[in-house]
């Protein structure tokens, strides 16, 4: 039974580390969309953080061919209507990913018969791009703006141009984005796992997790409000280094000691800037910023609680077994190696 549980944990950990490490959230694509409305015309500017895995699979793994499929996917999957009357797509332009980068940008124009007054947007691109895609959309027009988060379970939004959508309607969707940021982004998950593998009491782990929560909450707010700006490359590299450091300390220190909470507090500040990365590109207005911050932070905390509640009992059970300490140290060593590889890939990616 112990061997079976140990094997399962190792296989799960290997699966997390097996994918390419160039992206912070490999397998979970985030879209950033800006929709500008002027009279009869609409311009939709969409940037994908990376090519979605289903699209790459449809192109036989060829990234260039996959990018060429995107205009057709957008034209077929995104429906724009004004007052219930469909608008016509006038043009779509693709900006391929730059050398060494993964993001790709699409710009599409629609023309409506009448000036836009009641706008309906429906995004069915999830059929081709995958159900884990989340698109953060900022809609602007003369005299107002609104935000919406498209997901496979929230594909449509409607708004009256003269009557912006209430801020409160976005909290639930931003909550889901924060939740997915933890559950879908493997680097933050691995950092939490490294913390939980420490040979410490339950109360010590609780204090460490609390320090991490407080730190990343503060930085998330400061970063999203543009009061603190850290280069994304530095943030991603530091997160990878944090995984390697904490996991390595689990191996080489019999007891991490009280300084672990201080280290976690510092590293949590960096992680908060990483969490803010899903909001910063939106250029949120002051009215919408509070709701978005609240939703994302609650989602991040809910995801973190879920991870801790799911993993901690299993890891505590494993460590109580005759060879439990050797198993957890082996897992920490594997995490340390994975963190170093991730760090190397992110430093080389620029």
Half-sphere exposure of 305 (CA within 13 A, CB side): 8
Per the domain annotation, does 273 fall within a domain? yes
Per the domain annotation, does 168 fall within a domain? no
Q: Which domain holds residue 121?
A: 31-163
Q: How many residues does the chain have?
A: 350
**Which residues, other chains included, contact 2 with Cβ-Cβ below 8 Å and sequence gap of 6+?**
318, 321, 322, 323, 324
With H, G, I as helix, E, B as strand and everything else as coil, classify residue 13. helix
Is 22:345 a contact under the CB 8 Å cutoff? yes
Residues 214 and 113 in one domain: no
**Which residues of 124-250 form beta strands (DSSP E)?**
134-141, 144-150, 156-160
Provide the Cα torsion 78, 83, 86, 90; round to 10°.
Answer: -80
Residues 223 and 242 in one domain: yes
Residues 339 and 195 in one domain: yes
| pLDDT digits 0-9 by tens, 38-95 | 888 888 999 888 888 888 888 888 888 888 888 888 888 899 998 888 988 877 888 7
How many domains, in total, are found in the chain? 2
Residues 56 and 139 in one domain: yes
Per the domain annotation, does 171 fall within a domain? no
What local confidence, expressed as pLDDT, does residue 149 receive? 82
Residues 345 and 212 in one domain: yes
Residues 195 and 340 in one domain: yes
Per the domain annotation, does 177 fall within a domain? no
What local confidence, expressed as pLDDT, does residue 337 receive? 93
Which residue from 143, 187, 139, 185 is spatially nearest to 299, judged by alpha carbons? 185
Q: How far apart are CA 250 and CA 335, in angstroms?
A: 10
Residues 266 and 336 in one domain: yes
Determine how many CB atoms are found less than 10 A away from the CB of residue 71: 17
Residues 192 and 336 in one domain: yes
Per the domain annotation, does 80 fall within a domain? yes
Strands 118-123, 156-160: pairing kind:
antiparallel
What local confidence, expressed as pLDDT, does residue 162 receive? 61
Q: What are residue 348's phi and psi, to 5 degrees? A: -70, -30
Q: How far apart are CA 175 and CA 294, in angstroms?
A: 8
Given a cut of 50, the residues of the chain with pLDDT beneath it are 1-27, 164-169
Q: Looking at beta carbons, which pairs linking 114-117 to residues 24 or more positions away fall under 8 Å? A: 114/40, 114/82, 114/83, 114/85, 115/39, 115/40, 116/37, 116/39, 116/40, 116/42, 116/82, 116/141, 116/161, 117/82, 117/83, 117/160, 117/161, 117/162
Q: Alpha carbon of 333 to those of 20, 103, 192, 329: distances in Å? A: 19, 32, 15, 6
Residues 21 and 36 in one domain: no
Per the domain annotation, does 178 fall within a domain? no
Per the domain annotation, does 99 fall within a domain? yes
What local confidence, expressed as pLDDT, does residue 334 receive? 93
Kindly provide the b/e burial profile for residues 220-232, where b requires at least 16 CB atoms within 10 angstroms of the residue's own CB: bbbbbbeebebee
Q: Alpha carbon of 221 to those of 166, 187, 211: distances in Å? A: 21, 21, 16
Residues 19 and 37 in one domain: no
What local confidence, expressed as pLDDT, does residue 3 receive? 42
Determine how many CB atoms are found less than 10 A away from the CB of residue 160: 11
Residues 10 and 149 in one domain: no
Per the domain annotation, does 119 fall within a domain? yes
What local confidence, expressed as pLDDT, does residue 231 receive? 75
Of 129, 163, 197, the residue that ends a domain is 163
The per-residue DSSP string of 109-122 comes to EEE-SS--SEEEEE
Residues 139 and 268 in one domain: no
């Amino acid at each position: 039974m112990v061997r079976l549980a140990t094997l399962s944990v190792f296989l799960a950990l290997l699966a997390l580390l097996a994918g390419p490490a160039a992206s912070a959230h490999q397998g979970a694509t985030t879209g950033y969309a800006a929709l500008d409305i002027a009279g009869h015309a609409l311009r939709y500017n969409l940037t994908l953080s990376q090519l979605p895995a289903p699209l790459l699979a449809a192109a036989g793994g060829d990234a260039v061919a996959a990018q060429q499929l995107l205009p057709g996917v957008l034209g077929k999957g995104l429906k724009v209507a004004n007052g219930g009357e469909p608008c016509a797509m006038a043009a779509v332009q693709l900006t391929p990913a730059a050398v060494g980068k993964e993001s790709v940008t699409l710009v599409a124009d629609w023309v409506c018969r009448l000036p836009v007054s009641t706008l309906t947007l429906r995004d069915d691109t999830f059929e081709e791009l995958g159900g884990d895609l989340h698109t953060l959309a900022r809609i602007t027009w003369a005299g107002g703006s609104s935000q919406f988060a498209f997901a496979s379970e929230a594909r449509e939004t409607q708004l009256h141009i003269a009557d912006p959508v209430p801020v409160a309607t976005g909290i639930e969707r931003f909550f889901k984005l924060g939740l997915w940021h933890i559950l879908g982004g493997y680097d933050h998950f691995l950092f939490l796992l490294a913390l939980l593998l420490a040979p410490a009491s339950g109360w010590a782990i609780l204090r460490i997790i609390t320090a991490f929560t407080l730190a990343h909450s503060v930085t998330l707010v400061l970063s999203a409000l543009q009061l603190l700006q850290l280069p994304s490359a530095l943030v991603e590299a530091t997160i990878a280094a944090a995984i390697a450091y904490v996991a390595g300390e689990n191996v080489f220190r019999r007891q991490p000691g009280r300084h672990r909470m201080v280290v976690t507090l510092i590293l949590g500040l960096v992680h908060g800037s990483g969490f803010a990365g899903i909001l910063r590109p939106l250029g949120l207005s002051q009215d919408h910023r509070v709701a978005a911050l609240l939703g994302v932070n609650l989602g991040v905390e809910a995801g973190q609680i879920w991870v801790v509640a799911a993993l901690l009992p299993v890891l505590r059970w494993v460590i109580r077994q005759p060879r439990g300490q050797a198993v957890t140290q082996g897992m920490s060593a594997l995490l340390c190696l994975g963190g170093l590889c991730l760090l190397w890939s992110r430093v080389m990616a620029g």
